[in-house]
Structure 1
């Protein structure tokens, strides 16, 4: 038998493929193999099968094993990963490794247990009618399907029960689900009546043929999710699958719950980092095998094989969480649009505050704009927004007197209030009142945050922490003060000011362990909390029926940020926070405490006119040559010594060709100059078009890869969000 050879992509930081000999058996492109790599065994993905080893003849090692535990990645997923590797200038092997579940990246074979499916009969009378009146055992098993039994329950009823059910399933009389189907109904869940704007959006999505990109631009509470549900229903009815992306893990269970309630007989594969590696692999397999009608997950889900893909939905498309900030620095939103184009299916980007890139695509008609201008629930209007100037008003422990009155009004009416501050911990700074010393991280150019409950000072950038010092290390003063407010301190203040209220804090510290966030949100929905104190975790996606009052603290810091996207992001954040109030017709008010009430930003926020804000910001970006008017990439490097970083980046800068429309800036310090003991610098590469940018990067990157880089860590970030 003639040997064949395979080209394999490995999870190593090298821009190349590796050839191996396959002496026995056969493999297909996209399949997983185990191969030797130096002294190690690695898992890799086969890219091609050839009759010869090409340039590697004479020194080719053998494939060690073909586990056969993972279905071969389809050609369209391989092509998608090649695109990501090429566009973001990242090794293909690392892209492919990121695209598959963790259990398939190691050398041990994954043994998938047979899933404990639950079976149901959408039309039980039809199933019973198909059986012989004398088949008493089969009829008893069929009647058991009214309760959506699992495999163990079926086997307990009769030794042949599972074989019978599989036969009925093949005939289309029985459906299987990874979760029990509610006994109340096997039909599609109740659907609220659509308003005219929602109906127009649904019609546009259902009528789309082939690739089409839609921006679903709707105010908070306008019923964007209901539009998604109707579009999903149309795809499921046609036998197709739907890929739904959400920005953060804490939004996934809530959306999954709505999907399960609406589509109880549909298998939903949920994919996010909150799942165990095993469960994530099982859900990934359910999607890849076509069993899951709905694939719901965070950014990595964009690579999931979906053989019958009919629609892609990107919820809260503006959210920066869609951009991966480590490893392969890709934008899941942009990759999803590319995937939809190549697959020839519609893609929907939903947001109340679209990113400027998406808005520009809509106004230039590359995307179709679908607008929802009013709230979906009858009688529910947008909450009133007021500014509370705090410059001349003495606020009690951070809360303006009018904010306290508004919270009390909400409580007296049996409603809930939310106090939003985007800083966790007790206070952002521990300072000396005598000499001005402030507790700082030893490894970062950042202050340590005071966590009073744990009696610790903690860096939110590198994780370093230390015990609270009792005296100032510079002057010996014992009078150290907590300066500013964090969620922990605010929780204490609110509890003392409203002693009869039940105060619930929701932030990353209070929901660190598995299940804590779900339990906290359940408390809110069941009315077991009166005042919520929280961070961005509460700002988006959540629908709290009794929430009528929102108070925002410390929003001003973003207005004077070095980040040119700060104003755009602040508008989105405040709009999302404000959108939590008054969603169910009870009326709502939002109060924003500010030192700069005359800033023009607040005038546009109070108008709620995102289109006008976006038009102004796009004009400014064009004038200042900032994205999306130009294309950017950022070359970042770090090392223990700043001199090494500067020398490396200077050498890297010299690798770029001289092209018309290309500017390669001088190396400068990063916004956080030191992090985790590493000195950090960066080089900005700007181009008039993406074509010019990538031509320059393709020419420069091989030379930069070859530069001596002892103790230097560097990355390329294409279309960076952090500057």
Structure 2
């Protein structure tokens, strides 16, 4: 055991390695431990490497002897405050995550690499003592200098970024400097400036919106689920809630599921809150921009923070409200590395910060709906569409036995043409990108398989390639069968690219806008693609689920769902929930303006009871039926669930590893009605990137029973010496694939 020479002289650090513990070090040479504070970053030696760690706490003694000193202090001030460190501790414990990897996930890339935080420190123009005492009319002959002087007198120091954005020129500033009236000082970071937006007034709230806002407490922790039909004005509720906390001098955090939604959300918020500091946090930003925004948020300079999943890990010292838009969306769950749920962590953060949390969706997740129905969350509802918009009419188009043209029934194509001819817009939803999901030989039956995954290669005709959408393996398009050399090759099934070719040919007088991962890979691409539709031009939108999320396109009056059957017969018990959410969200794009909307749903099984329930009664009754089915089957959210995952190039090793893990856990907590084990079983996508994947499923009547078991598994598994085998814990798993 090693003791420190002074109280708290040993540093307990989160080091970014896959081990679920903290590590003890001595302070760097020449650095007094008393000058160090939790939340600072330090470079440390670790196994022959130099890693960037975060100081979590200081202690007086360590169970280890001969501690190494840290190498170098990076930050003058802590990046993580006390509340954010407690939040990270909770998340690491609940999700069984290595603390160092969790802190690393919280930091933007530039800060993960050790870039000093003060690299982005902002320069602030401030008045000198002489400037503060100058009469108001002293610079009457220099009106621009006088205006800047008055601004500094009334509003205080101004950042260089803000002055540049608002057109204050360098000569004006330099003239005041030469007079000795102003000087530059280094101060807190501010987020990168946003594009200018015309101020937008607040619309009149309807009675439902006023009631919802009245039911959300202004202070203290509360968790509320806002179940609002598409187009009912949920975003306006979010904006009013933000305004409430901004008036109180607090920060607002808004989580959105997709990067593509961020630009339109930023525009709307910037227009509503001109002059407010707004920080965007998502992976589409350049390294420097993201670091600058993160530091402004963590330093309390950003009033509003908008981000995707990882933004929940950002320290926010003035936090006043957490809002999660489209809370049902699966992208809020991290599927690799540290497997956390941003939606669930939002509620934990709200409780720790003692602030309201609002989860919003037209199609709530069964987890959130279950919490609302069991009174853990407030259940708020918006049942009517905002303004003059009316719910769309939904019609099922049976396709079994019909002669389809590239997957479209003849009457569907006719309705698309009629919609465009009226000067309106149509949206076609196909949840599969590429030209075709499979390429086959008509003579011998050969199929183009991925050599690394249990999946078929998707044909992308425009780039003449075959691509795996799981591991991104690519190969050139073949002209003949590799097995029998026949040239009779057929593309099986359809995708967005194939449908685009048909629709562009069939409706050549109108633009066809394809929206999928292949057309929106660059920054701001989705915003640019949707610009003609937002302008109201008659056009045909075609795309995957990216089109289903949060877009307000008032001229879309027809929505076509090409295939509604995908979730009816899946081995994944969550497939029917996702199908219902997707269909309802896509249908909600129709009729959001003054024009009436219509939805055409193609199905081979129009009489399926779940599909009938969804289309006739809506998502609410549909979701409640799924909850009853889950309860009968003992599945989440009625019971808690975790998966122990393992993958290896040799499937036998992964299976044996999980068999031993299950035997060890059952010796500690035997199977019972309250705690049940399943597996090891193959993942639904058994082989990915050359590795075979298996899992053991554990379900428990009480959620509290799982973390101690998972901790024992991690302690046991960290002793595994097979470096070719990977394992992970997935608490509250969302994917079986």
TM-score by length of 1: 0.93
Whether contact under 8 Å (1:428, 1:485) holds in the other structure is yes
Question: Alpha-carbon deviation of 1:580?
Answer: 0.8
Preserved contact between residue 460 and residue 497 of structure 2 (Cα < 8 Å): yes
Instruction: State yes or no: 1:158 paired with 2:193.
Output: no
Q: Choose the corresponding residue for 2:107, options 92, 100, 103.
A: 100
Alpha-carbon distance in 2 for matches of 1:212, 1:285? 28
Q: SS of the residue aligned with 1:551?
A: strand
For residues 503 and 117 of structure 1, the distance between their equivalents in structure 2, rounded to whole angstroms, comes to: 48
Contact 2:197 2:267 in 1 (8 A): no
Per the alignment, do residues 153 and 73 of structure 1 end up closer, same or farther by CA in structure 2, a change over 3 Å counting?
Answer: same
SS in 1 for 2:63: helix
Deviation at 1:154, TM superposition (A): 4.1
**Cα distance change of structure 1 residues 650 and 585 upon mapping to structure 2, 3 Å threshold:** same
Which residue pairs with 1:393 in the alignment? 402
Show the counterpart of 2:471: 462
Residues 1:118 and 1:430: Cα distance change in structure 2 (over 3 Å) = farther
CA contact (8 A) 2:682 2:695 kept: yes
Partner SS for 2:168 = helix
Q: Distance in 2 between matches of 1:344 and 1:402?
A: 55
- Matched ranges for 1:206-245 at <5 A: 207-245=217-255
Asked whether the 8 Å contact 1:103–1:110 carries over to 2, the reply is no
Distance 1:536 1:89 in 2: 31
What is the CA–CA distance in structure 2 between the aligned matches of 1:375 and 1:141, rounded to whole Å?
Answer: 50
For the residue of structure 2 that corresponds to 1:403, the secondary structure is helix
| Equivalent in 206, 212, 228 of residue 201 of structure 1 | 212
1:18 aligns with 2:23: yes
Post-superposition offset of 1:439: 0.8
1:123 aligns with none
Once residues 339 and 265 of structure 1 are traced to their aligned partners in structure 2, the CA distance between those partners, rounded to angstroms, is 27
**Counterparts of 1:71 and 1:454, CA distance in 2:** 49
Instruction: Show CA shifts across 1:578-633 (max 9, x none).
Output: 11111011111111111000011222222343222222111111111111111111
**Kept in 1: contact 2:423–2:538 (CA 8 A):** no
Give how far 1:501 is off.
Answer: 1.3
Mapped contact 1:137–1:158 kept (Cα < 8 A): no
1:465-480 mapped onto 2 (5 Å cutoff)? 465-480=474-489
Q: Describe the superposition over 1:306-334 as per-residue Cα deviations: whole angstroms up to 9, x where unpaired.
A: 11111000000011100000100000000
Moved more, 147-156 or 83-92: 147-156
How far apart, in 2, do the equivalents of 1:107 and 1:237 lie?
Answer: 36
Q: Which of residues 86, 90, 105 in structure 2 aligns to 1:83?
A: 90
Answer whether contact 1:154 1:161 (CA < 8 A) is retained. no
Distance, in Å, in 2 between the alignment partners of 1:529 and 1:253 is 23
Moved more, 399-408 or 487-496: 399-408
State whether residues 69 and 109 of structure 1, in contact with CA within 8 Å, keep that contact through their aligned partners in structure 2: no
Distance change (3 Å), C-alpha of 1:71 and 1:523: farther
Cα deviation digits, residues 165-186 of structure 1 (max 9, x gap):
8899x9xxxxx9853795966x
Q: What displacement does 1:43 show?
A: 0.7
Question: What's the CA shift for 1:392?
Answer: 2.3
The match for 2:116 among 109, 113, 120 is: 109
The CA distance in 2 between the partners of 1:492 and 1:715, in whole Å, is 43
Deviations 1:511-559 (A, max 9, x none): 2223322211223212456111111111111111211111111221221
Query: Higher mean Cα deviation, 591-600 or 157-166?
Result: 157-166
- Unaligned runs of 5+ residues in structure 1 are 120-126, 171-175
**Helix, strand or coil for the counterpart of 2:530?**
helix
CA distance, structure 2, for counterparts of residue 270 and residue 257 of structure 1: 11
- Is the partner of 2:320 in helix, strand or coil? strand
8 Å CA contact 1:220, 1:375 repeated in 2: yes
Paired residues of 1:182 and 1:264 also in contact (CA < 8 A): no
What secondary structure, in the 3-state scheme, does the structure 2 residue paired with 1:621 have? helix
- Is structure 2 residue 633 aligned with structure 1 residue 624? yes
* Secondary structure of residue in 2 paired with 1:668: strand
Distance 1:210 1:164, change over 3 A: farther
Paired residues for 1:106-505 under 5 Å: 106-109=113-116, 112-115=119-122, 132-136=136-140, 140-143=144-147, 149-150=163-164, 153-159=168-174, 161=176, 178-179=192-193, 189-205=200-216, 207-378=217-388, 380-505=389-514
Which residue in 1 is equivalent to 2:63? Answer: 55
Measure how far apart 1:210 and its partner are: 0.5
Report how far residue 213 of structure 1 moved: 0.8
Aligned counterpart, 1:703: 716
Equivalent positions of 1:511-530 (< 5 A) are: 511-527=520-536, 530=539
Corresponding residue for residue 506 of structure 1: 515
Query: Deviations for 1:186-214, whole angstroms, at most 9, x for unmatched residues?
Result: xxx30111110011112223x43200111
Once the two structures are superposed, what CA deviation does each residue of 1:97-125 show, in whole Å capped at 9, x if it has no partner?
11111222224535524448899xxxxxx
Choose which of 688, 708, 721 in structure 2 pairs with 1:675: 688
CA distance in 2, matches of 1:293, 1:718: 33
Change (3 A) 1:180 1:218: closer
Aligned pair in 2 of structure 1 residues 623, 501: CA closer, same or farther (>3 Å)?
same
Tell me, which stretches of 5 or more residues in structure 2 are unaligned? 152-160
- Write out per-residue CA displacement over residues 660-692 of structure 1, whole angstroms, 9 at most, x where no aligned residue: 522222311111111111111111112111111
CA-based RMSD of the aligned residues comes to 2.7
Equivalent in the alignment of 2:155: none
Q: Which residue of 2 aligns with 1:173?
A: none
Range moving further from structure 2, 37-46 or 469-478 = 469-478
Which residue of structure 1 aligns with residue 157 of structure 2? none
Range 145-154 or range 577-586, more displaced = 145-154
Deviations 1:436-481 (A, max 9, x none): 2211111111000000011100000111111112112222221101
